[in-house]
Structure 1
Amino acid sequence: MSLGSDQGSAQARLRSLDWIRGFAALSVVLYHSEIGSHAHLLPLVAPTWSTPLWFGAGWMGVPVFFTLSGDVIARTLNARPQSVRRFLARRFWRIYPTYLALTLLFITLLLILPRGVAQTASLSPAKTLNSLLFGWGQIDGSYLYVAWTLFWEVSFYLLAAPFAPGLGQLPLNLSLLAFPLITMLALVVPLEAAHRPLTYLACFLAGVSAFALPPILRGGQSQRMLWGMGLGGYGLGLTLLAINPHGYARGFGVAAAASSLLLLFGVALERRRPDLFIHPLPLWLGKISYSLYLVQVLTVPAVMKGLAMLLDSAPGAAQIPFALLNGLAIAITLVVSLVGAWLSWRLLEVKLSQWLQECWT
């Protein structure tokens, strides 16, 4: 999504994409942290309250990841053609070892921690098997509930793999025609089971098109017909995606269309002003974003359940204003998640994945 960055050494790394990646992961963590706060802490201090979410739009980091992945994969394959086998192997070793290690850690915690402290999920052979395959794209199909997005990420890799040996100008141009076609199919195909897969594929293609469009626009008047077809296809695709009601939540297509434009703007701005994107904190967030996206499934419930146990035993805890408690809980969860993500990145993404890849090859 591309949670795992792979922009390649054949071109300068685009810091703007790291910024987008990092802030998208951060928004998802804040969203889940606040959901956890409302679920575990609000009933203890104000059980009859109904309070809005500060970070209720944080789930939009998911369609951002989908479009970002389309852009990054197209950018990588265009700069560095590779065999289908090498492309799929690189993506596997980039994503799966970290995911599997954290899934096994989750299962281990379910086994050793008391029921009230561990996640509310229960162990089952079926769910364990499903977790190995990212829950088959179902939100409740894996122990790491964000794994459903990785299923669609991997599905996109499989579709992109035939283009790995040479993503030439023609396939890139064709993406600007495929993008509106897929978004239209997502709206008109009568088979309900196809709506979400086609919508998610359209999100990835929105990212591919965001990469394919600028070279066409730079062609100027000499390629007037291609210029018009490219811009028209991209605009039509964005429009159809924005009105698409399918996806993880209401507004999923709108968020994906907006993120495609954000990619265009971010890369264009970096080309003109690269100094704007040198701040180390967003770049660090982008670097650990994949681990942050996964590890928060463990850290959010751990922090919230721990705080709930403290509040339940503390006299006068019910008098604490929930706004203050909510902000404090989210801040603590964020710090714990960032520390956990950094450790996961260092130990799993950098060391384990590379070691396994070297052993395999």
Structure 2
Amino acid sequence: MSEDRLRVLDGIRGIAALMVLVYHLPLIVTPQATIPDWALFTAYGGSGVKLFFVLSAFSLCLTMPAHLCSGAPLFSFFTKRFLRIAPLFYLVTVYQLLSMQIAQGQLPPFDILLANFTLLFNLYPKAADCLIFAGWTIGVEVLFYLMFPALYRSADTLGKRAALFIGSFAAFPIFMGLLSYLPVDSAVAERYSILTIFLYLPAFAAGMLVFPIYQRYAQQDGAREIGLILLSVAFALYAFLASGRLIGILPPAHWETFCFGFFVLGAALRGFPALIDRPLSFVGRISYSVYLLHGPIIIMANPLFQWMNGWEAPPTVRFTAMLATALCLVLPLSLLSFNLVEQPSIHLSKKLIKHYTATRHTR
């Protein structure tokens, strides 16, 4: 995949990160910030996590051949995935625990701590929310990482991936039926129903499905035109969904899966206009830090946002000022986090993989 294409993937990550930030900003500010009428679309910004999931599966399909050629594919894959997410996750978790100790004078029970530090909290209904603000998605991602090598190997044709995509829609109702027989509190089960990986398997399956389609058309004449058509379909679906016109035909979660599947495939084929390409790819490169840090940063700056929310000014002015302020706080700190935590972890994973494969070859 060319450098331009890779930058497009970063751009998509940037869009997803900004969607989530814009969605959470008015919800975090206490009292809740007023959203101008034109910005009501931000209510669907939470679906940015589903865009992350579709893109995650697409990206893993892109990089898996390199792991397969490494001589130690599973070691290479899991080492890279673990060191990509765990260091910053643990750092923010420790910060959250210190904050809880200071504010509440106590820490969560041992089972919750164990679930979080093993990264397997999405398997445990009581802990699926995660200790980190909005960190529940990391638990979903980790379980998909554990599944991915087997899925990649078994669903190795377009037809098999189409079957996987269709079948993935049955996973959630089947799982919820089984969950009803387990001794899980009803309130916990209700919350878990929107956090479990089984709800998001279609999004991951969509990412795996559109990747071979991308491979088939990327080098053909007219690829950019096809991409533009797919992007138009994605935007139309999103607009209809946000306006409520599609509700009742299919569950919103299913429409989002189709929408973001079209969007990822269309963007990969078409690319973004030069004017927004580089800014989006910049945000995309630091998107993991943006995602994990935006909540704590906005919470710490809540007095500032409260003051801005109380301005005697039109809602558009207040919301725009708050959003600009949030970006000015979150982006520089996320860049710092990327350089100090993420980049060293990425380099460490490469060194470990290189050392392990070299050691195996000398035996």
- Structure 2 length-normalised TM: 0.70
Tell me which of 301, 304, 310 is aligned to 1:303: 301
Displacement, 1:125? 3.5
- Kept in 1, the 8 Å contact 2:16–2:49? The answer is yes
Task: Write the deviation string for residues 229-273 of structure 1: whole angstroms up to 9, x where unpaired.
Answer: xxxxxxxxx9xxx9999xxxx722222210110111111113xxx
* 1:179 maps to which of 155, 165, 169: 165
Distance 1:187-1:209 versus aligned 2 partners, 3 A rule: same
> How far off is 1:79 after superposition?
5.3
Once the two structures are overlaid, the 10-residue window that deviates more, 124-133 or 334-343, is 124-133
Q: 1:96 — aligned with what?
A: 86
Answer yes or no: is the 8 Å Cα contact 1:175–1:212 preserved in 2. Answer: no
Q: Are the counterparts in 2 of residues 133 and 151 from structure 1 also a CA contact under 8 Å?
A: no
Aligned to 2:121: 136
Whole-angstrom CA distance in 2 between matches of 1:357 and 1:204? 25
Partner AA of 2:205 in structure 1: L
Separation (CA, whole Å) in 1 of partners of 2:350 and 2:108: 30
Is 2:21 aligned against 1:33?
no
Deviations 1:306-330 (A, max 9, x none): 444x68xxxxx96624724443233
How big is the shift at 1:78?
Answer: 3.7
The letter of the residue matching 2:299 is P
**Inter-partner Cα distance in structure 2 for 1:355 and 1:215:** 30
Taking structure 1 as reference, are residues 185 and 97 closer, same or farther at Cα in structure 2, changes over 3 Å only? closer
Q: 1:353 to 1:100 in 2, by over 3 A?
A: farther
Which letter does structure 1 place at the counterpart of 2:212? A
1:77 aligns with 2:64: yes
Cα distance change, pair 349–84 in 1 and its aligned pair in 2 (3 A): same
The one of 332, 341, 349 aligned to 2:325: 332
State the 1:92 CA deviation. Answer: 0.3
Tell me the residue number matched to 1:59.
46
| Partner in structure 2 of residue 124 of structure 1 | 108
**Pairwise CA distance, 1:174:** 1.4
Residues 140 and 207 of structure 1, relative CA distance in 2, 3 Å threshold: closer
- C-alpha separation between the residues in 2 aligned to 1:261 and 1:185? 22
% identical aligned pairs: 22
Gaps of 5+ in 2: 181-192, 221-236, 356-363
Instruction: Specify which of 268, 289, 292 is matched with residue 290 of structure 2.
Output: 292
Q: What letter corresponds to residue 301 of structure 1 in structure 2?
A: I
Gaps of 5+ in 1: 1-9, 43-48, 221-237, 312-316
Q: Distance in 2 between matches of 1:41 and 1:208?
A: 38
CA separation in 1, counterparts of 2:43 and 2:268?
Answer: 27
- Aligned to 2:301, the other structure's residue is in SS state helix
Change in CA separation of 1:169 and 1:307 when aligned onto 2, cut-off 3 Å: closer
1:205 & 1:277 partners in 2: Cα distance?
A: 32
CA distance in 2 between partners of 1:301 and 1:106 (Å): 12
Deviation sequence 1:86-130 (CA, Å, 0-9, x none): 111110011111111121122233445xx4xxxx89632444333
Partners in 2 of 1:218 and 1:287 — Cα distance?
A: 23
1:189-230 deviation per Cα after TM superposition (whole angstroms, max 9, x unaligned): 67164975333111101000011224567999xxxxxxxxxx
Letter in 1 for 2:18: L
Question: Counterparts of 1:15 and 1:154 in 2: how far apart (Å)?
Answer: 24
Q: Scaled by the length of structure 1, what TM-score is found?
A: 0.71
Structure 1 position 213 matched with structure 2 position 204: no
Task: Please provide the CA RMSD for this pair.
Answer: 3.8
The secondary structure found in structure 2 opposite 1:320 is coil
Change (3 A) 1:207 1:277: farther
Within a 5 Å distance, the mapping from 1:1-361 to structure 2 comes to 12=3, 13-37=5-29, 39-40=30-31, 42=33, 54=40, 55-78=42-65, 80-81=67-68, 82=70, 83-112=73-102, 115=103, 123-126=107-110, 127-134=112-119, 136-137=121-122, 141-162=129-150, 170-187=156-173, 191=177, 193=179, 196-215=196-215, 251-270=252-271, 276=274, 279-308=277-306, 320-321=312-313, 323=315, 324-352=317-345, 354-355=347-348, 358=351
- How far is the alpha carbon of 1:147 from its aligned partner? 1.9
Offset of residue 29 of structure 1? 0.8
Question: Which string of whole-angstrom CA distances, capped at 9 and with x for unpartnered residues, describes residues 61-84 of structure 1?
Answer: 011011111111112114552511
| Maintained 8 Å contact 2:80/2:349 | no
Judged with a 3 Å threshold, the aligned counterparts in structure 2 of structure 1 residues 132 and 326 are, in CA distance, closer, same or farther, namely: same
Offset at residue 349 of structure 1 (A): 0.1
Tell me: CA distance 1:251–1:135, structure 2 relative to 1, closer, same or farther (3 Å): farther
Paired residues of 2:120 and 2:139 also in contact (CA < 8 A): yes
Mapped partners of 1:140, 1:337: distance in 2: 25
Kept after mapping to 1: 8 A contact 2:8/2:277: no
Aligned residues: 304
Query: Which letter maps to 2:160?
Result: L
Q: Check the 8 A contact 1:74/1:211 in 2, yes or no.
A: yes
Corresponding residue number in structure 1 for 2:187: none
Q: Give me the whole-angstrom Cα distance separating, in 2, the residues matched to 1:186 and 1:208.
A: 18
